[in-house]
Structure 1
Amino acid sequence: MKNNILSKNYKKIVIYDEETKKELAVITDEEVKTASSNIIVKLQP
């Protein structure tokens, strides 16, 4: 389901840890995913 989190200029946002070379979170129009349950992503309209 599209939630229109992002503007039409962006397909996804990736939060990336340079030190570990791992993605911590990925935000798309459909969902917000994190690498573990202790990572919290807060979105404010």
Structure 2
Amino acid sequence: MKDAAAPAPLALGGLRVLEVGTGPALAYAGKLFADFGAEVIKVE
């Protein structure tokens, strides 16, 4: 039996993004950053 390989690091892992603003485009951009591994901090 083979050992499971460790998952590859995400492209934006370790990056912290501050999301300030409103609108659907900004919310979508924040989600994309999070999907690629960034920590997104949302300020409303």
**What's the TM-score bracket when you normalise by the shorter of the two chains?**
under 0.3
Q: Higher strand fraction: Structure 1 or Structure 2?
A: 1
**Considering only CA atoms, is the larger Rg found in Structure 1 or Structure 2?**
2
TM-score normalised per structure 2: 0.26
TM-score normalised per structure 1: 0.26
Q: Higher helix fraction: Structure 1 or Structure 2?
A: 2
